[in-house]
Structure 1
Amino acid sequence: MEPAGGARRGGAAAGDAPALPRAAAGAARAGAARSGVRTIAHISDLHFGREDPAIVAALREDLKRAEPDLVAVSGDLTQRARRREFAAARAFLHGLDAPVLAVPGNHDIPLFDLARRLLQPLDRYRQYIHEDDNPFLEDEEMAVLGLNTARATELRGDGRISLSQIEVLRRRLEPLPPVLVKVLVTHHPFVPAPAGPQQALVGRGLLGLQAAEAAGVDIVLAGHLHRGFAGDVRTHHVSIKRSILVFQAGTAVSTRLRGEPNSYNLILLDPPRLSCTVHAWDGQAFRPLAPTRFIKTDDEWRKEG
């Protein structure tokens, strides 16, 4: 993987390690020996600063065994955007020895340091994790775009997509051939959880989904809710006519649970099929649950089984 050149914005303290290796075009080509097949480990809401060390160690080993072609991190790497929390998150991701594509979450923006929150909200994220908070990866089988939905002006932690990001989505994904599986990664969700207490959805979400529909996006990966589920955005957004699958991830390693155990998603792309398997913590290890399988027919993703 290429080093993330120029990622040290704002200067680093003595002894700081460099930012994460770049998940750039070609970075996922290590899996090219399995022609046509890609595996994405989708982890979210790590919340270093409120992590369980035993679960962190177990997740590290589980991901190393899985050998994913990409680790997609859908935000909230830290609890309070402190340097030591970012350093711990970076050390964990760096130790996976896999390409990483990450986006920030609302917890990756300082909460109590108002000057930094308003003037340099993502300075530490860019210093420790990656200089680009709208990262992009493309190889022979998939194209993955991350969009930063965290906003310093949203004190409740709600997120938003900007109009310029919608243009980035169109520019990056629309020209690509439909043979590629196109994946969008955000922190804030586009659809609500199927049950339980509801939270605000990402602002301008419908505009974003309309652009995603036009660009041929197949999958949206998100977090924020600390609850995992799989579905189709059309169950909530009836104006979207093309199937776009949504995979929400629970919190991977934090103690901030919301009615379900720590978990992550392992997504297998094997066109025209794909599957999403939740790996849930049972107190001793991450155990795979029954996979949710889909097949693409007539440009529609349909659930199998």
Structure 2
Amino acid sequence: MERSETITRANMTNVGDFIFLGFSDQSDFQGFLFGIFLVIYMSIIIGNGLIILMTKFDPGLRTPMYFFLGNFSFLEICYTSVTLPRMLKDFWTQNKHISLLSCAVQMCFFLILGVTECLLLAVMSYDRYVAICKPLYYPLIMNHKTCVQLVVGAWISGMPIQIGQVCQVFSLPFCDSNRLDHVFCDIPPLLKLACGDTSLNEILVYADAFLFGMVPFLLILNSYIRIITTIMKLPSTMGRSKAFSTCSSHLTVVGLFFMSASISYFQPKSSQSTGAGKVLSLFYTIVTPMFNPVIYSLRNKDVIMAMRKLWP
């Protein structure tokens, strides 16, 4: 028994760190990639930061919808900051090693914030449902206390399960290779390096993705089916147009995020492409947060007016 435990511990310590392969096949373009990702990161911080400032200080944007939008923008900055600074450092130094502890911490924050994004998108869709389908009760239902409780719930609901997921993954022995063919620490590429039986872990990944990904998406879908049904009953064409315009930006963000993330996590292991997985992961972790401020600003007159106040 003792000998078996010693062997297991030895296997687990064979890998002391991981090496991100990332875009190492594009060795001649590392400087170019650093510049591109730096511009993307700065645009994410500036764009989402402006939305936070506007929703915080503009009196016209002190409504539940913009309260949620400000929290969502803050979340996007946190979400990208888990992965992008590390990627920029790897591009700049060409040192792509990451310790097991750093990898576990990165993955833990990445999963927690990813779950928060799914839940917060569901909360935002519920807000639009109440505003359009129950406008007379909107101030009563979506009072400040309820809004704060919904946001706090979105932030903390997934923490225990995601921490447990990380502990499960890093309890596996990594003894075959430390070359992680990805751009950050995520569960699917790490499971490929584990030399033990990962079937239970894969089931847990699917269950987690269903609980915190598919269920919020179905709730969003249900909200928008009811919203669209209500909008179609409006007598005024102008009223329908205004209602659609307030929902279209949120629907666009939901579609971009959930489609790329669901393909990445629900794709069967046998048909997974490493290259496609990396591109998809960049899409829902970097590209979507970069376009969110633009998407929410283009068809939103209140946000455009608030921007004009910042730059008179």
Q: Normalized per residue, which structure has more strand?
A: 1
- TM-score norm. by structure 2 comes to 0.29
Greater relative CO, 1 or 2 (CA 8 Å, sep 6+): 2
Structure having the higher Rg: 2
